[in-house]
Amino acid sequence: MTIDLFIPCFIDQLFPETAWNVVKILKRSGVTINYNTNQTCCGQPAFNSGDTKNARKLAKKFINDFPEDRPIVVPSASCAGFIRNHYRTLFKDDNKYLQESERLEKNIFELTDFLVNHLKFTDFNAEFNHRITYHDACSALREYGIRNEPRLLLSKVKGLQLAEMNDSDVCCGFGGTFMVKFVPISTAMVEQKVQNAMNTGAEYIVSTESSCLLNIDSYIRKQKLPIKVKHIADILANF
């Protein structure tokens, strides 16, 4: 099977190692990867900020960068959920791109969803001898609809202990521009998230969303706390 790989802005610019690990595990799962080096942003940051004009411009570019009728895999439920649920809104008055949006809706897949539900590939023979806890990102859980898939993949990792934190499904305070516009509230939310994680005795907070992990890690580093963050792809690639 040939798939197109979309690497989101956050991973491309801030977590390039995670991008390479996504490639590593996809190859391990047996797919052939096509990567269009012209790809940029799906338009979500502009859309969330109310900049519909530039969101539409970026969405058109995304559609044109992924013209094939085949799976597009993205290591972010936030981006995948945005494309699935909001491209229709952007192009409600543009029949051509509305049809293209419908094509993308059925072809765009978050990484863990694609591995578990479409490839039926769950065991990478990975090993990670640490205690971790899992953060259910808002967009992953509510907009895209994944919960069990990441946990199933983590359960197959040798040496890994998963300790569920209280309120794992509560927002970390990132929320795109929310952390910039409402700093005190965002800080209180991430403080609670990290405290719940530390109460489990976990060494790592794991998620499918690099944006959440960026926010969480910034708080951890500032407070000099004895816990780290890790994208799920970085664990699955540890074989």
pLDDT in tens, 93-115: 999 999 999 999 999 999 999 99
Residues 159 and 204 in one domain: yes
- Does an H or E element contain 131, and which? strand 131-134
Give dist(CA 46, CA 56) in Å, integer: 9
The band of 175, judged by pLDDT with boundaries at 50, 70 and 90, is: low
Q: Which pTM was predicted?
A: 0.93
Picking from 83, 118, 153, the residue at the C-terminal end of a domain is 118
Which of left, alpha, beta for 88 (phi over 0: left; psi -120 to 50: alpha)?
A: alpha
pLDDT in tens, 40-50: 999 998 998 88
104 is written with which tokens?
Answer: 């993308």
Other CB atoms within a 10 A radius of the CB of residue 144 amount to 25
Structural domain harbouring 162: 123-236
Other CB atoms within a 10 A radius of the CB of residue 17 amount to 12
Give me the CATH number covering residue 134: 3.40.50.11810
Read off φ and ψ for residue 197, nearest 5 degrees: -65, -45
Residues 101 and 134 in one domain: no
Residues 154 and 194 in one domain: yes
Q: How many domains does the chain have?
A: 2
Residues 18 and 97 in one domain: yes
Residues 113 and 154 in one domain: no
